[in-house]
Structure 1
């Protein structure tokens, strides 16, 4: 099993895994650490991630991006119309949800945003499993703090369709805060003043600020604010609109009239923006942009900052709102931590620094901080991984109220109540009490619809409470208790219901409750403990609850799971077919070269001619009718060539085997000869030593004889 964190971005998605006593960001199939959040469709298969990016310009009408901005929305939402500016595929209504109409397998198809996200997550799952060599199940995924209940439910549905188990949806800035805090060993203790950090996150499509307090082993989000239409792409668009005017005046071409030209200018503008983050000016050149016209421009940083001045003026407003929610002043902040790729624009850093009047901190990887935080969160929640305990206390972004019909028997009853306020701790549970004689309905909705993104309806869900009836008589009410919970994903449910009865029970009087004058009464050991009768509510039974929310129903979800599994299998078959086609083509060229090289002296001219004819015929077929056929046909064609060339290839292997055997025999003979020579040398050395010893003794003997013969 694995522990995976996914930073699901509008432009790119980054995946991190907990392993090797730490967290690693993994690479995709082309060794990139960030994967384009794109889904494309073609005549044979889907293109997901990197493959979709490769063919994006040539397949604009069938490529969908900004998936994070579409999920959980309706087609009529004004925010969706804004997204259409950044998506070339036509957006359409699909059963009340926004979706895309594309050409897939030669026919028009409509897919909801939930399905598109599920397709992309299937790809993420695939390359993650290939990289870590483990099955992927448990994940934690990041979402913007401004996501509503319907958007969060849609993402939960998408993960299930993709075959993933979602442990938590975590807000982007909260994930970054967790990644920051869990690695810090110097956080203040519980009785000390907390460390206050302001996280400023500028992404591709939105901008968020969170004020977070850290203590040892815990973090608490105190305030957060966001601007949903402030990000890197808005800076790109400002530059594109400037270039549109310049090219129209200079080259007489209107890039907005040509979708492919617009896409190429957007790509060039993004690169120019990045160059200007490190340089004072940047050249821009696009060859054959439109009508075979090459375009050139020179942009200075000063010009660029003038183009985006309206955006820059919105930087500090979001920070002020976050501080106001946290009831803190900018002077209370200890550290200003900057994350998000969009924050690399020097003018943004300058505005933030000037607002706080203190140095900015860049201790986190700006692109990967959120993914790492998600992986840490997944490790904390997963039972298969041991990690340091770190409590995460997030907050609810929008106030939630419950409404119900007035009961005729309770004329002065209120019909609505705000149960979860903005800023309440997340997750959070509340018990609601109702006095009823018959089944009733509750409706959950957002209390301030004007604060919601776009025109997302305030409706969250309807909950029907069953099994309610008068207890003893027509005038008696059933006391109904309902457990409402905003869970770890930020999703609201009425999880359970039960009814209680008021009963008198005997309760022992504790020492603290006794009066001083009663002290003597308890001195005797024979006295029984004193009790008193009190009224308590005793749980008597369960109340069934039928929920109607914006999540997919079980049957619809199962159909989409089956459809996704079928499309995954189809994509796999297409990939394997292409692989076999390439294998056949490679074998043809390889065999042709070897006939004139390695196999030249191993085959007769007649055999070579037959093989060459077969290779040529197969090659002609491959580039004609065989250009688009099935996997089995390519395998059969490859086997035909291998069968014909088999005897020649076998001779080559036999020749290599003989050479190898001869070489081995020669090696052994050389070793034996060397060993023999070593033995002979040892014998010679022994004889020489004996002779040397004899020669050494001779003078001594002669000397003795001479001495003996002296007078």
Structure 2
């Protein structure tokens, strides 16, 4: 009898992916567009529910019913400060029901309310479908990764999302632990004393210190912030350019009836700008947006120095959880054998510079 395969799902704040371990090999599946990562976005309209890339393509036309960053509020209380801060920036409506956040959207011409678990289940269903298309068979068993600093309520909420998606969640695994497993396997590491895994993604920041002894993994300490990631850098850029628009054109787009549509276009431009900044270049590629509002074509530039100044307080937060892990285990930073960087936001040069400087120039293993 053929053993039933279990898939692994990385349910990310901004992107998700799915894969399997078989034939002594890790396989990450491609979606229908040929990408190994899929946007963690869900959009509802008068006819259907869209997930992934298709939501991004039409988000400008349906911005108030396009849901993203849902991971930032899953398993949380409505009155939490971080949740309230996120709600202020979301273009979709989040309401309070028994101190739980519910997303309120228009679907099939009706006003509907959904829990973060229900929204997340759509993303998990998409991952399940990608796996089934790739494997050519039905899939039910899954392991889902979550931030190391997710509390029990957030972990249970993730399991509930999996159940809604028709998955049997075998295990919830910490994202840095999953990364260390893949890192150790891919590099054929049998024994190493201290691996520091630094995972800075779209919405969460995780630090894990692990050891590998004779192929067995032990997590020694974890730390992090479940509300810190690349989206926070993006928001700083968006606010900066909104202020510039106000200064140049005397227009505060925050009071515009199409604010969220304008912001969505600005956000996409800021994300591209941030990603495309080469490590040794002082100036980012210019932001150019045709007809951003009222027939105005917006163009601007941003220096690396200004980008780093805008996010100075965020960069200053990077070392605290790293120091917490080292202090908890009572080792010296010189005892760290390898440092593995994962998550899209670790590609930011300033992030790498801060970490490398703290560890006295030690080589960083970049995914």
Task: Measure the CA separation in 2 of the matches of 1:205 and 1:9.
Answer: 8
Pick from 260, 282, 305 the counterpart of residue 280 of structure 1.
Answer: 282
How far residue 10 of structure 1 moved from its aligned partner, in angstroms, is: 0.5
Q: For residue 104 of structure 2, what is the aligned residue in structure 1?
A: 101
CA positional deviation for 1:44: 1.1
The answer as to whether partners of 2:222 and 2:325 remain within 8 angstroms in 1 is: yes
Q: Is the 8 A contact 2:11 2:124 kept in 1?
A: no
> 1:252 — aligned with what?
250
Q: CA deviation at 1:184?
A: 4.4
Does residue 137 (structure 1) correspond to residue 135 (structure 2)? The answer is: no
CA shift, 1:220, in A, is: 1.1
Q: Who wins on radius of gyration, i.e. which is larger?
A: 1
**Aligned equivalent of 1:226:** 224
Paired residue for 2:174, among 171, 179, 183? 171
TM-score by length of 2: 0.93
Higher relative contact order (CA closer than 8 Å, sequence separation 6+): 2
In 2, the alpha carbon distance for the partners of 1:242 and 1:116 equals 31
Q: Deviations over 1:342-380 (max 9, x none)?
A: 0111111000000011333325x3xxxxxxxxxxxxxxx
CA deviations over 1:114-146 (Å, ceiling 9, x no partner): 111112212221222112212111111111112
Question: 1:195·1:213 contact (CA, 8 Å) conserved in 2?
Answer: yes
- Offset of 1:164 from its aligned partner? 0.7
Shift of the 133–86 alpha-carbon distance from structure 1 to 2, 3 Å rule, reads farther
Q: What number of residue pairs does the alignment pair up?
A: 359
Shift of 1:172: 1.0
Indicate the residue corresponding to 1:501 in structure 2: none
- Deviation at 1:86? 4.1
> SS where residue 276 of structure 1 aligns?
coil
2:312 to 298, 309, 312: 309
CA distance in structure 2 between the aligned counterparts of 1:124 and 1:145, rounded to whole angstroms:
21
2:149, 2:206 within 8 Å by CA — same for their partners in 1? no
Q: CA–CA distance in 2 between the matches of 1:298 and 1:51?
A: 30
Question: Gaps spanning 5+ residues in structure 1: where?
Answer: 189-193, 366-711
Equivalent in the alignment of 1:263: 264
Map 1:537-616; keep pairs closer than 5 Å. Answer: none
Contact 1:94 1:110 in 2 (8 A): no
Give the superposition deviation at 1:100: 0.6
Q: CA deviation at 1:197?
A: 1.1
Instruction: Say whether the 8 Å CA contact 1:224–1:322 is kept in structure 2.
Output: yes
Gaps of 5+ in 2: none
Change (3 A) 1:329 1:129: same
Q: How does 1:256-405 map to 2 (within 5 A)?
A: 256-257=254-255, 258-278=259-279, 279-281=281-283, 282-362=285-365, 365=367
TM-superposed CA distance for 1:93, in Å, is 2.3
TM normalised by structure 1 equals 0.49
Question: 1:201 touches 1:207 (CA, 8 Å); kept in 2?
Answer: yes
Q: What is the SS of the residue equivalent to 1:55?
A: helix
Determine which of 155, 158, 174 is the counterpart of 1:155: 158
CA separation in 1, counterparts of 2:343 and 2:129? 26
CA distance in 1, matches of 2:100, 2:63: 22
Equivalent position of 2:195 in the other structure: 197
1:127 to 130, 154, 168: 130
Q: What SS class does the counterpart of residue 31 from structure 1 fall into?
A: coil
Secondary structure, counterpart of 1:182 in structure 2: helix
Residues 266-297 of structure 1 show CA distances to partners (whole Å, capped at 9, x for unaligned) of 11111111122443322110011111111000
1:366-419 deviation line (CA, Å, top 9, x unaligned): xxxxxxxxxxxxxxxxxxxxxxxxxxxxxxxxxxxxxxxxxxxxxxxxxxxxxx
